[in-house]
A = this chain, B = another copy of it.
Amino acid sequence: MTSLILSAQVNERYSASTILKALVDHFGFSDTRTFKQRYLIADRHWQANGGSILFYTGNEGDITWFCNNTGFMWEVAEELKAMLVFAEHRYYGESLPFGEDSFKDSQHLNFLTSEQALADFAELIRHLRRTIPGAGSQPVIAIGGSYGGMLAAWFRMKYPHSVVGALAASAPIWQFEDLVPCGVFMKIVTEDFRKSGPHCAESIRRSWGAINRLSSTGGGLQWLTKALHLCSPLTSGDISYLKDWISETWLNLAMVDYPYEANFLQPLPAWPIKVVCQYLKNPNVSDTVLLQNIFQALNIYYNYSGQAQCLNISQTTTSSLGSMGWSYQVSIIISLSSTGSLLSCTEMVMPFCTNGVDDMFETYQWDLEKFSDDCFSQWGVKPRPHWITTLYGGKNISSHSNIIFSNGDLDPWSGGGVTKDITDTLVAINIPGGAHHLDLRASTAFDPSAVLLSRLLEVKHMKKWIADFYKDARRQS
């Protein structure tokens, strides 16, 4: 009954993994290079007459991974007589514009933007509608989660002629500039831990000081290396990375705090934060006991399968997520220490901060200038923090239509999401007890009723978009 089993089934279900020759640059005419964009198609339930097309707007990773983690689409296919299409995002999975050279330098990375990705999707939909008999006269609905949810929403905004509507799950389209407070994300992470066990958040809050004290001596560093079962010996220069890595672990746990065993970022038990918090009940212990407890907690995340020999502070998520491209485009790796910075070096500049009071982390102030300098030294590019809002409208999006914004209240990304209806057709669906795009995952017996309800609502909206499409088509013919 876990999604792992379902994933295996899903994997066998898509009828074709296909390639479209896509332009490297849609927005100029001097560069005529093309690359192979991959997409997956499943048409078992599709009806050429009166059906629909559900189009997953691929995000930062191998598309088969998203295909296997979006059970919702598979489950509604029959009801909507839908063809399923999963489009891989350029620079991820097998859709590398320049093969191994794709991440070589800023020249090669120049075409890694959300605009180019949306143009890829528009060209792919055009191609499908022209080449698959029957598809040309059917409505297409964009579906995506997380960054893919942002793409789904933006796709409906920018190409409303390509898709009749969009389901944007856990899409933090407002996590830019000053649209939401920079501290909201880590505040939600903290809240998840606070609610999942007594003194859990407080134990984590105290752990930073304990690490700082222990790491101030050579012996302490040796002790920490051993106590945390790290693969490489810690040096004093590693401490900020260590704290970033631990912070990111808590953050990832908040994203995947699902009510059942799952393997999204890592294999994890049901309600993993509750499990983690069993080890973090007592903040009033010595530094060494506290850190031993922290290890037990981390070990849930990194070693639920029991296979890990040691913990590696340079890795936090599954390798299916394309971290190279993502850290150029944006990053979910939030570095809270003074030496670190968010690796969102082009358009996806998401300001984050912590104050240690409203959240359980060390204080981290958002410093755009430093951030920009770091980007330049790493990638040779400077971010343009206002571009996304200039391009996609920020909070001023009420003229658009047919977008569902769904958010779970456990998900820290909900802080940058749309959680209130904007108009009758730009609607928010909030899922109490839901983590990161829980609604897009395959249903299980452990789903909270709120997510069952939200899936019903989502299908209801999609059916209306489809019905409206066919009504308009009949009127015009």
Task: Give A contacts to B, CB under 8 Å.
Answer: 26-32, 106-107, 109-111, 113, 115-116, 119, 122-123, 126, 158-162, 345-347, 380-384, 386-387, 390-394, 396-402, 472
B residues in contact with A382, CB < 8 Å: 29, 32
A29-B384, A158-B158, A390-B126 are known contacts. Are A399 and B396 too (CB-CB below 8 A)? no
* Cross-chain contact B399 with A110 (CB below 8 angstroms): no
Question: Which single member of B27, B106, B346 contacts A116 (CB below 8 Å)?
Answer: B27
If A29-B106, A126-B386, A159-B391 are given as contacts, then 11 extra A-B residue pairs at C-beta distance below 8 Å, sorted by A number, are A27-B115, A28-B110, A29-B346, A29-B384, A30-B381, A123-B390, A159-B393, A160-B399, A161-B396, A399-B401, A399-B402
Question: Which single member of B29, B109, B126 contacts A110 (CB below 8 Å)?
Answer: B29
Most buried by B among A126, A347, A390: A390
B residues in contact with A391, CB < 8 Å: 119, 122, 159
Minimum CB–CB distance for A394 against chain B, Å: 7
Which residue on B lies nearest to A425, using beta carbons?
B399
One complex includes copies of this chain to the number of 2
Minimum CB–CB distance for A20 against chain B, Å: 13
* Cross-chain contact B27 with A27 (CB below 8 angstroms): yes
Minimum CB–CB distance for A10 against chain B, Å: 31
* Cross-chain contact A394 with B161 (CB below 8 angstroms): yes
* Cross-chain contact B397 with A28 (CB below 8 angstroms): no
* Cross-chain contact A110 with B30 (CB below 8 angstroms): yes
Minimum CB–CB distance for A302 against chain B, Å: 34
Which residue on B lies nearest to A380, using beta carbons?
B30
* Cross-chain contact A113 with B28 (CB below 8 angstroms): yes
A-B contact pairs, 16 of them (CB 8 A): A27-B113, A27-B116, A28-B111, A29-B109, A29-B110, A29-B383, A29-B384, A30-B109, A30-B110, A122-B390, A122-B391, A123-B390, A160-B393, A161-B397, A398-B472, A399-B402
Among all A-B residue pairs, the 10 with the closest Cβ atoms: A161-B393, A161-B396, A30-B106, A30-B110, A160-B399, A28-B110, A29-B346, A29-B381, A27-B27, A30-B107
Minimum CB–CB distance for A233 against chain B, Å: 38
Docked CA distance A184–B392 (Å): 36
Docked CA distance A115–B347 (Å): 17
Docked CA distance A26–B29 (Å): 15
Minimum CB–CB distance for A383 against chain B, Å: 8
Minimum CB–CB distance for A461 against chain B, Å: 15
Docked CA distance A361–B472 (Å): 39
Minimum CB–CB distance for A401 against chain B, Å: 6
Minimum CB–CB distance for A107 against chain B, Å: 5
Minimum CB–CB distance for A121 against chain B, Å: 11
B residues in contact with A346, CB < 8 Å: 29
B residues in contact with A400, CB < 8 Å: 160
B residues in contact with A107, CB < 8 Å: 30
Docked CA distance A116–B162 (Å): 21
Docked CA distance A116–B28 (Å): 9
Most buried by B among A27, A116, A384: A27
